[in-house]
Chain A
Amino acid sequence: MKKELKVIGKSAPKLDADIRVSGKAVYGHDIELPGMLHGSILRTAHPCAEILSIDTSEAEALPGVICIITADDVDVNNISYKRDHPILKKGTVNCNRDEIAAVAAITKDIAKKALKLIKVDYRIKEGVYNPLEALKSDAPKINEFGKGEEQFGNKNIAESFHYEHGDLEAEKAKSKVIIKRTYQLPRVTHACMATSNITADFNKLDGRLTLWSSTQVPFLYQRDIAHALKMEPSKIRIIQPVIGGGFGSKLDMHPFEPICCLLAMKAGKPVQILYSREEEFILSPTRQPMIIELTTGADENGKFTFREVEIIKDNGAYTSWGATTPFVMMQTFSSLYQAPACKFDSHAIYTNNPFAGSFRGYGNPQATFALETNIDLMAEELGMDQDKIRLINANYKGEITGQGLHFKTCGAIPALEKVIEKSNFQVSAIPHDKGRFRKGIGLASMLHVGGGAKIYRSDGCGTTLKLDDYGYLTIVTGSNEIGQGSETVLAMIAMEELGISREKIKVINTDTDVKPWDVGVHASRTSFVAGNSLLGAIKLLKEKLNKKATELLGVVTDDWDYADGKMTFNEFEISLDKVSREIHFGFPHELCTVTYFYEPPSKFQDKEFKGDVSGNYAFAAQAIEVEVDTVTGNVTVLNTHVSQDVGRVLNPMGLQGQMEGGMATGIGYALTEEMIYEKGELKNPSFHGYKILTTMDMPPVHFYPIETYDEAGPYGSKGAGEAPLIPTAAAIANAVANALGVRFYSLPITAEKVLRALAEKKKEVSQNESLKTN
């Protein structure tokens, strides 16, 4: 139940807000080490080709060039989720990102000049850029390390997932309405404000490697770098400078990172690689483009009966973590709203396009767009209201879904009810305007993990606490900060529990040599897992402090109150720093430090992907109002209503930031963002050509948190980071359909698509009219 709290639930600015806005933050780009060299990577000139020869001699002769490496110079392992990705390519290149050689030089300019002097002879091949083409039997094998033939019966299948529950045929038979549609989802990118960067320093004396890297998952990254370079993980130290945007893009380790290490090892000096903005667009991972064929049914009362899903994902040339997004997508199809039966198949297909990766939402925005559009269509065909059909099928507390997800708390219905009420959905959904500007409203829900996700042998997090002689607390947490605000939440938890002021709290989370293990920032898990870990450590710390205070004051109790830097019990009072000093200087001389490791109660799913994979689950609904300009085709988002089951609000200001940031990404996904590829080459690698939205485009974000106090999370909270963008594109697509009476089955819904659809509609109407008159 809700306990009265002093700090938790009250807005607090982020711990690093001051350094970020004043320009004091040290990003990877700001790092300068003595004698540091600048690395640059030569990439293929053609997305699909044979490499006949590489000649680096002229580049090596350029004054200022320290070393050059190609595949022949290095002894390394393949990288990536499927270990199908050579760090440096030889023989063949398979996509526009492919790394052929790398240079370390004394200046960036010289490094770039040297790249131009490297001569590569290619035999250009016709690539395969459409996954459906790649599936044909006469298609060439795209990735030579792929095991598709053996594992999945087709040489170009990189990864497949199959899931099912319930009696599909029986549910089909019960269905009054069956809707089948095909959806196309675009390739979009994270557009982090800080471009990718790494600085590597190798000490030849002790064989240790230090990396300043903006990874999201330092301990998995340490393991991945070690595997790539054939090193012992413990010889690699990962230090994270301030990170200017993650959003999933830094979950995989990418070739430029071990390449930078190899250059540093060969040169015997630190090497730094910084991406330009153009490189950032071309080289950083993307959200999965995919084709989703979705069939759904509902009975005469509007109760959902079944879902049948076939997904073809464009894997690109190599297999990143992104290939595992079906883990998340199948949760949405199996368990978002009550679903008696579900059959799900997904195939990731090798092509000569660049590989996709992980991106906030991890497949869920795609799945939710398809499902929520089908739901609107089923409602239309049944003559039901779009809010009603969702409410009668919504998830509920205590539900154990066909996939085995157990909703011990569930805010799905309250969230829907809230946005329906606040947006005046019933009234707003009545189409009226016939003029230039047409208004519409759309509704969508989402389900996502809220208590981590057990996808690795441990989903835990360690915490070490150190209370010093002066009453200052250092929190050394395994988790890390990539802008999401979790370190602020940790400081708030310590303030709440120990009564220490914010100025006396330090959070250390940037160094793998110092901090305890954590799986990393992903799956909306950090505040949940690191918060629980910190609470466990605080409990141990309090045991120490309670014992000493009891001893010092001669009062027997465990009921000490911690506030204002003091411990009090009835008339007894002692300052925290005094107790800490007594532990240190008094017999038997200890330090006021503790370490705790928290492992969430979630379970691995079985071979059939069934099981309660997360500590708890987040639910959300959005109602979005749009206005379509029928003259230009532009869609403007006028207003957004967001309600989300966050368990409990920890930091309202931070949470609002997550909502607004997610909304911005979601609106861009719905309306404007798309990486335009032609034959494997990116045509719009700039902010001019790739339209992320600006603050001027942002609508008001009305946020209504739902607090369900889930006992698994710290203070009852649930993970909240990914959810705000997941239903956004779906709600906007439904709103545009409401405004125009025309549906869109692909994203983004650009002005041109809208105008073409309106022109088609006009043609149809006039044809029908002329038929009538005939």
Chain B
Amino acid sequence: MIMDFEVVSPKNKSELLNVINDNLDGNFRISAGFTDLYNQLKKSGSEGVTIINLTQLNEPELKSIHIGDSEIRIGTLVTAADIVDHAFIKVNFPVLHMAASKLASLQIRNVATIGGNICNVSPSGDMTAAMITLQAVCHVIDSEGNERSEPLISFIRGLKKTSLEKNEIIQYVTIPKNIHSKIYSGYEKVGARKSMEIAIVSLGYHFQLNDEGIIQEAGISCGAVAPVIPFATDACSFLIGKKLDELSDADKNTFADLVVAYANPISDIRASAWYRTEVLKNLACAILP
């Protein structure tokens, strides 16, 4: 394949916004890790494309993880490896830690960014699924410098579609800090191999419990079973107020059925719709103690 494109590498945010403004009439693509874009260009061709390369951007806000009073802020250029290595995330948000650590391979985790994972809008995006579980909010800026924010679940508008305008980029995402004493959180990813895999089905869960072990807050996401990753609201509502350790088999079944109701899977070369549904149901039962 011949790669035939222009590359612009802004050094700071104002340069970046200017570059976007200057190219609004043209065909440009923004990238930092290039792990998804490379494949897309291979398919679509790169003639006439301008690449806005973010790897030389020196903006701490966009590149760092910041722990605030009520939320944590993850810059759009934070890599999967940064997330895996982050101690606070590992302890407080296992769902995100596990999703990042199961993404592709070590080499790819070292360059793949959270902003890229979200904007690629894949139904099987691992970090995206974890962020949906955690009810993350996207913070966006346009080339004029106007800022807005939107919950991730509505930011994603459909298969390969977001609410981003051509002149907008994500600056960072925020997730609310846990407010209860205990958490029960994790990410199940199903695939044929342990690395270099795209989820056939995934299930992200993040529950907050009070001291008595009663579920106070719940987040559930299901990857690769629908055109967009759903947040399983009904399944979450069902669990709230219940004691996690004392769920009956009937409760677990009801919960699993509520999760599966959000699935509308397809059959493809990797798995049939039957398998995806069956595994999702099995997983939903299996994650509960």
Contacts and interface: CB of A to CB of B under 8 A. Distances in A.
Q: A and B, one complex?
A: yes
Interface of A: 107-109, 276, 436, 630-634, 671-672, 676, 683-684, 687-689, 691, 693-697, 750-752, 755-756, 759
Interface in B156-184: none
B57 to A, nearest CB: 29
A694 B195 contact: yes
A696 B194 contact: yes
Contacts of A633: 275, 279
Given A676-B269, A694-B196, A755-B278, A634 B105 contact: no
Contacts of B250: none
Contacts of A750: 192
Nearest to B190: A632
Q: State the majority secondary structure of interface residues on A.
A: loop
B278 A696 contact: no
A696 B106 CA distance: 11
A689 B269 contact: yes
B192 A436 contact: no
Contacts of A684: 269
A759 B278 contact: yes
B198 A688 contact: yes
Contact of A694 (B2, B193, B198, B275): B193
Interface in B1-45: 1-2
Nearest to B282: A631
A694 B282 CA distance: 26
Interface string B274-289: 1100110011011000
A672 B192 contact: yes
5 contacts: A631-B282, A689-B269, A693-B193, A694-B194, A694-B196
Given A436-B286, A632-B283, A752 B271 contact: yes
Given A633-B279, A634-B190, A687-B196, 20 more contacts: A107-B2, A108-B2, A436-B286, A630-B282, A631-B282, A632-B190, A632-B279, A633-B275, A671-B192, A688-B198, A691-B192, A693-B193, A694-B195, A695-B195, A696-B193, A750-B192, A751-B192, A752-B272, A755-B282, A759-B278
B275 A751 contact: yes
B193 A672 contact: yes
Contact of A631 (B192, B270, B286): B286
B216 to A, nearest CB: 27
A565 B200 CA distance: 61
Contacts of A683: 269
Contacts of B2: 107-109
A759 B190 CA distance: 18
A755 B279 contact: yes
A630 B285 CA distance: 12
Contacts of B279: 631-633, 751, 755
Q: Shortest 8 CB-CB distances between A and B: which pairs?
A: A696-B195, A696-B194, A631-B282, A752-B275, A691-B192, A631-B286, A672-B192, A694-B195
Nearest to B198: A688
Interface centre among A632, A672, A687, by most chain B C-beta atoms within 10 angstroms, is A632
Contacts of A756: 274-275
Nearest to B4: A109
Contact of B194 (A671, A676, A697, A759): A697
B168 to A, nearest CB: 30
A109 B195 CA distance: 33
A186 to B, nearest CB: 13
A603 B198 CA distance: 51
Nearest to B189: A632
